[in-house]
Amino acid sequence: MRIDIITVLPELLQSPFNHSILKRAREKGLLEVNLINLRDYASDKHKTVDDYQYGGGAGMVMMIEPIAKCIEDLKSQRDYDEVIYMSPDGELLDQKVANKISLLQNIIILCGHYKGVDERVREHFVTKEISIGNYVLSGGELAAAILVDAVGRLIPGVLNDESSALFDSFQDNLIAPPVYTRPEEFRGWKVPDILLSGDTKKIDAWRHEQSLQRTKERRPDLLSE
């Protein structure tokens, strides 16, 4: 899978993709993440990518010209399944959205900044808008990193145990059950006996019941979806 991220702050995204699971995915050749500096497509010597908004008002707006040049340049090299704009008013990112995107081959992620992007970018270049929550960030970079992490770990071969992602929270609209590891007892706090029984069927049933109970208590909204 190839992900090209258009940003005015490529240095902000270097660290998240150079560690842990995403690093291994890149080293295995399963995930390619490229940071595209939008300022490389600016038309003036100052590498300007933003300007004042028409009609007045506070905040600068990212200009359409450098964004258009950047996206068209990328598209001239390969076909893309989606051009995703990280936006607070986009579709809310959840596990189902991440699952669908993980099946794609090539995507572009456009990171907004300042007051956002010229609306014509959204009308003519963006094919999908995604939000990570009902709040506003300084830019789309951190949101893009979250999207890439959520998607990247789902690519077959990325996780050492490929079945692991199938049992993550939200895969079946249930929160994951509690998990334990050694020692069996710590300060009098014991691991549930069922997990030590070796009875796979009973353990699976216990985990499902725990997931259901936790979801009812903590995220009952998931059960209505």
Give pTM, 2 decimals: 0.88
Report whether the peptide linkage leading into residue 183 is cis, meaning its omega lies within 30 degrees of zero: yes
Structural domains of the chain in order of their starting residue, each with its CATH number: 2-152 (3.40.1280.10), 169-224 (1.10.1270.20)
Structure-token pair, residue 62: 């990212």
Structure-token pair, residue 129: 């808008």
Q: Identify whether the C-beta of residue 94 lies closer than 8 Å to the C-beta of residue 170.
A: yes
Tens digit of each residue's pLDDT (9 = 90 or more) over 123-135: 999 999 999 999 9
Largest CA distance in the chain: 69
Tens digit of each residue's pLDDT (9 = 90 or more) over 155-166: 999 987 655 555
Would you state the pLDDT for residue 6?
Answer: 98
Closest to 176 measured CA to CA, from 185, 167, 184: 167
Structure-token pair, residue 10: 């490529």
Residues 6+ apart with CB under 8 A from 192: 180, 206
Tens digit of each residue's pLDDT (9 = 90 or more) over 87-116: 989 999 999 999 999 999 999 999 998 889
